[in-house]
Each structure stands twice: as C-alpha cells, then as structure tokens.
Amino acid sequence: MITTSTPSLWRGHVLPFALLLGLLAAAALGGDYLLHRLNLVWVGRYLGIPGTLLIIGSLYYSLRKRHWVAAGDPKTLLKAHEFAAWLGSLLVLIHAGIHFNSILPWLATVAMSINVVSGLVGKFLLKTARGHVQGERERFQLRGLSLPEVEQAVFWDAVALGAMAQWRKLHIPIFIAFAVLALGHIVSIFLFWGWA
Ligand code: HEM
C-alpha cells in the first residue's frame, strides 16, 4: 500500500500549526470572557492600541527581508515577527470581543485572521509539504513507476500543495486590505472619539 504521509510531518508541522491557531482562538475567547466576567470590558477597547503597535512592530522583519533596513539578524527577526504578529492579533481579537456595531472593523478583523492563518501555513506547512511531495515523486520513480503513474500517485498531494501555495500568496494582498480597513477604523475612532 502507498502511504503519503509520515508521522514527523504531522508531529513536526501540522500539529504545531493547529496548536498555535487553536491557542489563539482559545486565548481570545478566554480573554474576552474574563473581561466580561470581571466587568472590565473597557480594558478591551484599549487593547486595540498595543495590538496595533505590535503588528506594526512585526513589520520590521519585512523591511529587513527586503533590505530596506540593515540592522538585525533575519532569523531572529523572523521569530520576533511571528511572535509579535501572533500576540498583536490576540490583543486585537480580545479588543474586537463580541461587540457588533459597525462593519468596517469587523472586515479588518476578518482580513487580519486570514492573514494569521496564511502566515502560519507558510511557516509550518508549505516548505515541508513541498519537500514531502518531491520525496514521494522520487520514491515512486525509484520503484520503477512511469512518469504518468508517478503523477497519478501524488495527484491529491500535489492538489493540496497547489492550494496551500495559493493560500500563502494571499499573505501580502490580504495584509494590505487589513491595513486599509484597520486604518479606516482607527481614523474614524480618533476623529469622532467614539469610545462610548
Ligand atoms: C489604535 C488602534 C485601535 C483603536 C484606538 C481602536 C478603538 C476602538 C474603539 C474605541 C472601539 C469601540 C467602538 C464602538 O463601541 O463603537 C473599537 C471597536 C472595534 N475594533 Fe478597534 N481600535 C483599534 C484597532 C483595531 C484593529 C487593528 C482592529 C481589527 C483588525 C479593530 C477591530 C475592532 C472591532 C471588530 C471592534 C468592534 C466593532 C463593533 O462594535 O462592531 N480595532 N475599536
């Protein structure tokens, strides 16, 4: 029988991906629940500010990656980018809470969430999955399968890989949509100072 996945792929990549995403959702729900229980909903309003600052700070990595700035080790900065973007998104999710008054900040929140998922897909899944499919191709070739047979054997893995690669490409355009929507929300809050 042909097996297409290895335990290490799951343990090393799919599991941490699911854990980090699950932890984000659980911490956001738990944080919002606590603020409501303790009558501290107003604190959540202010969490939008450190959340936004952390997300802006996380962009330093993108500047470094494109050589627009020179200081800092790219590997360390990537770790800092992932951590700051994750924590910033958590604060913004708690900030958004379960209040539904206006559509603009919710669109920003949806864009931000898609962004976090696409970043995590890039981090944990894409590179390994690419190597995995290539490894499978080589294994089938060594077994003497013809090229069309190899392509047929890895067909579904290749389809999944293609979908993941598209997903990763969303990271920058969705980030721009998020930035525009979030800016609209922040400017309107500061213009009208609608904290109440
Ligand atoms: C400097 C940063 C920010 C400030 C000062 C801020 C401020 C506020 C304030 C005062 C409210 C309450 C408005 C009301 O009750 O009508 C609010 C709600 C909200 N904010 Fe922010 N915010 C910031 C960043 C963000 C970001 C980056 C996002 C999303 C990515 C976001 C998403 C939301 C959502 C979803 C709500 C609830 C909207 C609703 O009631 O329907 N905020 N924000």
Q: Which of 78, 99, 120 corresponds to the end of one domain?
A: 99
Q: Are residues 94 and 106 in the same domain?
A: no
From 176, 185, 190, 193, the mutation candidate for ligand 1 (largest count of ligand atoms within 8 A of CB) is 185
Q: Is residue 1 part of a domain?
A: no
* Residue 4 domain-assigned (yes or no): no
Specify if 64 maps to a domain.
Answer: yes
Please report whether residue 2 resides in a domain.
no
Which ligand 1 atom sits nearest the alpha carbon of residue 106? Answer: 35
- Are 20 and 89 contained in the same domain? yes
Whether residue 57 sits in one domain with residue 41: yes
Residues in Cβ contact with 145 at an 8 Å cutoff, skipping those fewer than 6 apart: 153
Q: Which of 53, 70, 99 is the last residue of a domain?
A: 99
Task: Answer positive or negative: Cα dihedral of 2, 122, 174, 114.
Answer: positive
pLDDT per residue of the chain (196 residues) written in tens, 0 to 9: 444 445 566 777 778 888 999 999 999 999 999 999 999 999 999 999 999 999 999 999 989 988 999 999 999 999 999 999 999 999 999 999 988 888 999 999 999 999 998 888 888 777 778 888 889 899 999 999 999 999 998 888 888 888 777 777 788 899 999 999 999 999 998 888 755 4
Residue 5 lies in a domain: no
Distance 118 CA to ligand 1 centre (A): 23
* Number of domains the chain is built from: 2
In a domain, 44, yes or no: yes
Q: Which own/partner contact pairs does 20-29 have at CB distance under 8 Å and 24+ positions apart?
A: 20/86, 20/120, 20/124, 21/116, 21/117, 21/120, 24/86, 24/89, 24/90, 24/93, 24/116, 27/90, 27/94, 28/90, 28/93, 28/94
- pTM value is 0.81
68 and 109 fall within a common domain: no
Note whether 15 and 78 are same-domain residues. Answer: yes
Tell me what pLDDT residue 101 has.
85
Q: Are residues 36 and 112 in the same domain?
A: no
Same domain, 108 and 80: no
**Measured on CA atoms in the order 62, 67, 71, 73, is the torsion positive or negative?**
positive
27 falls within a domain: yes
Per the structure, the complete domain to which residue 43 belongs is given by: 10-99
- Ligand 1 contacts CB of residue 118 (under 6 A): no
Are residue 189 and residue 114 in the same domain, yes or no?
Answer: yes
Q: Given 99, 129, 144, which residue is the final one in a domain?
A: 99
